[in-house]
């Protein structure tokens, strides 16, 4: 177990993301709940993770599955009660698992009491909690568009003003320029710290310094000032984990967010590696350019060394399943899931496993009516209006839609995959007959045990945390190989990204080295389809 009283404990940790709506239902309403998370803590302890990043469980109308919060200090009845949350924190702690809550500070729900007050009159004390501009009903303040479709401005006829909503009209942006808002949010964070929460994942934190009049959303001029204020006032304890989600982060800005001087956050959660297989927008699906991926990782690995800290991940609740995306879910599901895991977990940073990733869960293909996500529904219409056929639009959604990651967790091969006794809110993937936790736990060669081993390795060999990264054969389009070196320890990670046999990659130094982990028996000679090897020597 990690010593979590140590300041940088999260550098040796592995986190697991729970998307509670899809994890485990315990009362038959088809929706996962907090008691379900409690029930599955033993499973997570077996996997070996040190913490759970829990997607939002706050009171919410669920327009964006809880990323639209109506009350930051209440648990949504759909997920349970405050007592369940407190029990989860306690029970997790007993198993060495820290609970990290999701903080959505950029916007609230349009049902939040602050917003209901704010929109009721221009003189209301809460009015200035949000961002308002005067204007005529047919003419929004500017052309900015919302992430989930339509204008970024919504008109409220009663007061003759527009409010700013970067994501959707149900998610009005908070006015961070108002110090009272910042104070409220800091107090709210302290409420959760007092309950024993061990840290926070900060949703779209790069957006809080926005300046809509200048079309600025990310990286606004006061962004880092606000984050430093949060650190001073809300994240007071050095041992709290803080993770900033920032789609816009570059290596340079990441050094600010995750400055080792501790003035802002512990680590960034950035997506550059997740955007390389798209064209102009996320629905433009391209094959993975492996050479670009390798160079992207190299830039981040070397660029943050000693001057920042990164998150390592291949999935979350907004992304498709990686085995379907970069692996081969049909022919080489198990091998490619393990290869991708080794590629990711061999690097410097803090790994995050998204629920079901440790089983090699795959994407799903549903009829358009069966999807729930507001982004998918909107994107489908937009793709059609841009001239794509319904088939083409659906293909893009099959490849990139967020509901790929949100199908119920596959626990067993039984009814509804053991997720629920009722009708699940989103269909279960039919491959649960083969892909499920019970089967994985019974099979020593499963993807699950490969992840378990990766987590254990990170705790055993300091080189995983500290080693300097060197990319081998940068121009090789099929194989991704790198080394890590620190304190006399040397690690080699080799990953065949194809179903072809490739020549062996083994620098002289690693001849005769110990194999820490591999996804085929007898790991030597040419690389078999999606083969991965982790070799280790200590001088």
Give the residue numbers annotated as catalytic, written as ranges. 203, 245
CA–CA separation, 461 and 345 (whole Å): 13
Q: How far is the CB of 34 from Ca ion (least distance, A)?
A: 9
One residue of 111, 135, 150, 247 binding ligand TEU per CB under 6 A:
247
Question: How near is the Cβ of 69 to Ca ion at its closest, in Å?
Answer: 19
Exposure on the CB side of residue 112, measured as CA atoms within 13 A: 29
Neighbours of 156 (CB within 10 A): 15
Out of ligand TEU, Ca ion, none, what residue 27 binds, judged by CB under 5 to 8 A for its kind, is Ca ion
Site string for ligand TEU, 378-407 (x = CB under 6 A): ------------------------x-----
- Using rule CB under 5 A, residue 151 touches Ca ion: no
In this complex, which beta carbon is closest to Ca ion, that of residue 76 or of residue 403? 76
- Which residues have C-beta within 8 Å of that of residue 231, sequence separation ≥ 6? 242, 262, 263, 264, 265
- 282 scored as a contact of ligand TEU (CB under 6 A): yes
Q: Provide the 3-class DSSP secondary structure of residue 57.
A: coil
Environment class of 203 (CB within 10 Å of its CB; exposed 0-12, middle 13-18, buried 19+): buried
Our measurement of the distance from residue 37's CA atom to the centroid of its chain's CA atoms, rounded to an integer in Å, reads 18
On the 0-12 / 13-18 / 19+ scale of CB atoms within 10 A, 512 is exposed
298's CB contacts (< 8 A; 6+ apart) are 469, 471, 474, 482
Question: According to the binding rule CB under 6 A, does residue 206 interact with ligand TEU?
Answer: no
Q: Give dist(CA 253, CA 515) in Å, integer.
A: 37
What are 479's strand-pairing partners? 496
> From the CB of 58, what's the least distance to Ca ion, in Å?
16
Out of Ca ion, ligand TEU, none, which partner does residue 64 contact, by CB within 5 to 8 A per kind? ligand TEU
Strand (E) or helix (H) holding 535: strand 532-538
In angstroms, give the least distance from the CB of 374 to ligand TEU. 8
Query: In whole angstroms, how close is the CB of 247 to ligand TEU at the nearest point?
Result: 5
Residues of span 17-56 touching Ca ion by CB under 5 A: 25, 27, 29, 31, 33
Of Ca ion, ligand TEU, none, which one sits near residue 282, judging by CB under 5 to 8 A according to partner kind? ligand TEU
- Whichever of 319 and 479 has its CB closer to ligand TEU, that residue is 319
3-class SS of residue 459:
helix
Which residue's CB is nearer to ligand TEU, number 338 or number 402?
402
Nearest distance, CB of residue 313 and ligand TEU, angstroms:
12
Supply the DSSP string of 466-532, one letter for each residue.
HPEEEEESTT-SSEEEEEEEETTEEEEEEEE-SSS-B-----GGGTTPEEEEESSSS--SSBPTT-E
Query: What would the x/- binding string for ligand TEU be over residues 291 to 330, using CB under 6 A?
Result: --------------------------xx------------
- C-alpha distances (whole Å) from 161 to each of 196, 252, 530 are 41, 38, 57
Which of ligand TEU, Ca ion, none interacts with 104 (beta carbon under 5 to 8 A by kind)? ligand TEU
Q: How far apart are CA 108 and CA 124, in angstroms?
A: 18
Work out whether 203 is an interface residue with ligand TEU (CB under 6 A): yes
The CA-to-CA distance between both ends of the chain, in Å, stands at 27
Q: How far is the CB of 198 from ligand TEU (least distance, A)?
A: 20
> Helix (H, G, I), strand (E, B), or coil: what is residue 385?
helix
Provide the minimum distance between the beta carbon of 286 and ligand TEU in the complex, in angstroms, as a whole number.
16
Nearer to ligand TEU, 149 or 427 (CB): 149
For ligand TEU, what does the binding mask look like between residues 336 and 375, x meaning CB under 6 A? ---------------------------------------x
Q: Is 110 in the site for ligand TEU (CB under 6 A)?
A: no
Does residue number 204 form part of the binding site for ligand TEU (CB under 6 A)? yes
Among Ca ion, ligand TEU, none, residue 25 binds (CB under 5-8 Å by kind): Ca ion
Closest to ligand TEU by CB, 204 or 479:
204
31 binds, among Ca ion, ligand TEU, none (CB under 5 to 8 A by kind): Ca ion
- Cα pseudo-dihedral 367, 369, 370, 373, rounded to 10: 120
Q: Between residue 128 and residue 157, which ones bind ligand TEU under the rule CB under 6 A?
A: 147
Is residue 86 involved in binding Ca ion (CB under 5 A)?
no
33 binds, among Ca ion, ligand TEU, none (CB under 5 to 8 A by kind): Ca ion
- Told to check if 64 binds ligand TEU by CB under 6 A, we report yes
Contact partner, 247, from ligand TEU, Ca ion, none, Cβ < 5-8 Å per class: ligand TEU
User: How many H-runs (helices) and E-runs (strands) does the chain carry?
Assistant: 15, 18
Count the site residues for ligand TEU by CB under 6 A. 13
Residues 146-155 as b or e (16 or more Cβ within 10 Å = b)? bbbbebbbbb
Strand partners, 180: none
Closest CA to 320 of 348, 369, 362: 362
Q: What are phi and psi of 73, to 5 degrees?
A: -105, 15
Q: How far is the CB of 380 from Ca ion (least distance, A)?
A: 28
Of 167, 297, 309, 380, the residue at the interface with ligand TEU (CB under 6 A) is 167
From the list Ca ion, ligand TEU, none, which binds 264 (C-beta under 5 to 8 Å, kind-based)? none
Asked if 318 is part of the footprint of Ca ion (rule: CB under 5 A), the reply reads no
Instruction: Give the nearest distance from C-beta 282 to ligand TEU in angstroms.
Output: 5
Written as six digits, the tokens of 78 are 């759909």
Binding site for Ca ion (CB under 5 A): 25, 27, 29, 31, 33
> Which residues of this chain interact with ligand TEU, rule CB under 6 A?
64, 67, 104, 147, 167, 203-204, 247, 282, 317-318, 375, 402
């Amino acid at each position: 177990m990690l010593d979590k009283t140590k300041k940088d404990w999260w550098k040796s940790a592995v986190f697991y993301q729970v998307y509670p709506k899809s994890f485990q239902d315990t009362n038959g309403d088809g929706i996962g709940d907090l008691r379900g998370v409690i029930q599955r803590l033993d499973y997570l302890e077996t996997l070996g993770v040190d913490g759970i990043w829990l997607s939002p469980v706050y009171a919410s109308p669920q327009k964006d599955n809880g990323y639209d919060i109506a009350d930051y200090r209440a648990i949504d009845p759909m997920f349970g009660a405050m007592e369940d949350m407190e029990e989860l924190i306690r029970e997790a702690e007993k198993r060495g698992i820290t609970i990290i809550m999701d903080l959505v500070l950029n916007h609230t729900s349009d049902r939040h009491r602050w917003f209901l007050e704010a929109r009721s009159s221009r003189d209301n004390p809460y009015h200035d909690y949000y961002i308002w501009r005067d204007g005529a009903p047919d003419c929004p303040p500017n052309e900015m568009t919302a992430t989930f479709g339509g204008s970024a401005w919504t008109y409220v006829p009663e007061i003759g003003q527009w409010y700013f909503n970067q994501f959707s009209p149900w998610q009005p942006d908070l006015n961070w320029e108002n110090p009272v808002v910042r104070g409220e949010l800091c107090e709210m964070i302290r409420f959760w710290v007092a309950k024993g929460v061990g840290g926070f994942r900060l949703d779209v934190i790069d957006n809080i310094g926005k300046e809509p009049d200048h079309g600025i959303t990310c990286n606004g001029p006061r962004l880092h000032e606000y984050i430093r204020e949060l650190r001073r006032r809300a994240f007071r304890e050095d041992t709290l984990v803080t993770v900033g989600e920032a789609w816009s982060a570059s290596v340079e800005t990441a050094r600010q967010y995750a400055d080792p001087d501790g003035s802002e956050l512990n680590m960034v959660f950035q997506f550059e590696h997740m955007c390389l297989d798209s064209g102009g927008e996320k629905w433009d699906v391209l094959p993975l350019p492996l050479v670009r991926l390798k160079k992207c990782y190299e830039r981040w690995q070397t660029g943050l060394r000693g001057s920042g800290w990164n998150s390592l991940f291949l999935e979350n609740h907004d992304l498709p399943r990686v085995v379907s995306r970069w692996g081969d879910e049909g022919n080489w599901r198990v091998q490619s899931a393990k290869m991708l895991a080794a590629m990711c977990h061999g690097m410097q940073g803090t790994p995050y496993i998204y629920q079901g990733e440790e089983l090699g869960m795959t994407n799903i293909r549903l009829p358009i009516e069966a999807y729930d996500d507001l982004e998918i529904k909107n994107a489908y219409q937009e793709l059609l209006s841009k001239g794509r056929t319904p088939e083409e639009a659906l293909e893009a959604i099959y490849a990139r839609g967020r509901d790929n990651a949100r199908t119920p967790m596959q626990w067993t091969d039984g009814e509804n995959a053991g997720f629920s006794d009722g009708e699940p809110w989103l269909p279960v993937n039919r491959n649960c007959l083969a892909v499920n936790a019970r089967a994985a736990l019974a099979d020593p060669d499963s993807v699950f045990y490969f992840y378990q081993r990766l987590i254990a390795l990170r705790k055993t060999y300091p080189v995983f945390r500290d080693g300097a990264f060197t990319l081998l054969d940068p121009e090789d389009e099929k194989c991704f190989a790198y080394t890590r070196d620190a304190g006399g320890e040397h690690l080699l990670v080799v990953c065949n990204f194809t179903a072809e046999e490739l020549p062996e990659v083994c620098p002289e130094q690693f001849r005769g080295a110990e194999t820490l982990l591999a996804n085929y028996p007898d790991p030597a000679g040419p690389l078999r389809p999606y083969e991965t090897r982790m070799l280790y020597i200590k001088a």
